[in-house]
Chains A and B, each alone.
Chain A
Amino acid sequence: MGVTQSNPGDWQSSAAKFIVMKPEPIIIFENFSFQYFSQSEPTLHDINLKIYPGEKILIVGPSGSGKSTLGHCLNGLIPFYYKGTIEGSLKIKGLETRNLDIFQLSKMLGTVLQDSDGQFVGLTVGEDIAFAMENDCITVDEMHARVARVAKMVGMEALEKASPFELSGGQKQRTSLAGVLIDDVDILLFDEPLANLDPATGRTAIEIIDEIHKDTDKTILIIEHRLEDVLHREVDRVIVINDGRIIADMNAHELVCSDVLVKNGIREPLYVTALKFAGVKVTPEMKPGHIWSLKTDEVNEAIRTWHRSVKSAETEGEKPSILKMDWVSFSYDGVHPTLADILIDLPEGAMVSIVGKNGAGKSTLSKLLVGFEKVDKGVLYYRGEDIKGKSIKERAEFIGLVMQNPNQMISKNLIFDEVALGLRLRNVPEEEIKTRVEKVLKICGLAPFVDWPISALSYGQKKRVTIAAILVLNPSILILDEPTAGQDYSHYTEIMEFLREINKLGITVILITHDMHLMLEYTPRAIVLAGGRKIADTAASVVLTDAKVIEEANLKETSLYHLAQLAGITDGTCFVQSFIDYERSVAK
């Protein structure tokens, strides 16, 4: 562990200065606790942790575990912005942080926040990178020189004058990184860097972080709950946090072999799950921390045997069409088509995902369906009937849309009122409203909270409230925009299992998503959009193993496919399908 570089050449000179063999830790937590003023209990308990210069550390934990609070303590947002009581000691570069202000800390530790959109302060790339220097009153000429240098480091030199609207998610993140690197800090803190990125961009983000680590020897801390995605590149240690305590501090190989992940609600890498399905005991000797380091020679036979034994799931008989898009085209400006010649036919009771990178036309597609926008060319059929003349309100009777951010939908203080809103606006008698709302709340598992104020609910519960508010109108189709964005594994599972239940009641569910796990585990069928066209419409296992589709839609090959290759299984798609079928049979 640690990066204790020492080559014989500089040993003598450094030995003359320091007698110590090992470098001093750059960050030391000692019996550190923190309690927000608004909370009745501490969020962090008795943290003891040492981080050495040049290390690359991953901090994982479910939502509410305290991992973000730990980050805030490091960068000074605690206690500068979020107030509370600090006990124990936290030293960065030998200085007690409670004696420093947020500005002094920002010169030692730079933070890249999770929302690369929201943290874009400047109006152009150059201006955003220069923001910290502007605040330091650096002269204009020096700023331009330094921006040019740092923009080159992150590969953004050609886009110095571009505005945030012209940038992709990955480019925004490069810009944020440059804005932090400009101060030449020793420590970089990434707070959920993958949260809003599509799979391919997320992978690139991890690669950029790795390059910066190798090129500059900075100490790197990554806070994330998407373990497998971060482990795309090497890390020195993984620290697991839950309930405000450090649960584990070990290397990636040991961690995925232990039961820490499962116990603490963190998703283990998919290939590890597959190995367990195959009855293989995963050991540190197999180097299972990363898919690229995994050695399966000893267990290949077991994997192949398991693969052959999986019975493929029964395919259900054809159901009548509920929704059909017949050569639908749409353009916002009349010049550039946002959607072109879309042909989709969904049977009743389907559960499908619509995937594709930002701007591929996914959201526009849902807007056309619910009537927010009008189709330019082509026809929309609901149960064989053209719905062209139907207004937003009329379509809401059979097709409901749940927005990504529940805070953008909730307008009442009490759960009951929020769910009843749609019915009250339709002048349904109060008696009937009561029975219908209670029924829906029961389905959504919200019955115990019926009199609660919405503000007291968790994010996942709020999401349920917004789904309930739509379900109460009895739609036969439900469209959800990114239902699991920013959710940890347990909330993700909670929401998705709930949607699966609803789907079993006969409601057709359309999910717009970036999440490849979601596609694999919950939607037998995936529709892929790229540049406004449908480029694939098939089983999720086929989509996630098709190199061309993956490339065009900014997806990523699933690690199951690599596992199949390692085990010498030629039909990787079939192996991925086996995994899906097996998982479903286990879930039942």
Chain B
Amino acid sequence: MDIERIDQIIEKHQGESSSLIQILLEIQSDNHWLPKEALERVSEKLQVPLTRTMHIASFYKAFSLVPKGRHEVHVCMGTACHVRGAKRVLESLEDYTGIKPGETDAEMKFSLETVNCLGCCALGPVMEINGKTHGKISASKTADVLKSYV
């Protein structure tokens, strides 16, 4: 990620240190992860110790300190999805991709994450791939859905 883009984002927030989280969120959404250089740049510009920036980057779930795959698969583990079999959906995704939640496969194809509630409980169990919702999914259908992503 280039420094100029990072500086743009920081400037948008007037370089205020109370905007640290908002700035990191924008970098995350732009770049899909937070490289070390980005964290260093933000700390330097906002005059915040790098330890504090790291504390925040590791505390909040939205941030990733490692690169993400081309397709981000989010499995909803909210209560409504849980009672409708989300755990089995997750297991089938783990079997298919060979990775656990929080991991990215060696080909950088899929990143798997669990989320706590996507708020569309009527469609549970739900998974989301690159922001597209797949509702009423079952363990036996996940492989077919993933096949369409290359």
Do A and B belong to a common assembly?
Answer: no
List residues of chain A with CB under 8 Å of any chain B CB. none
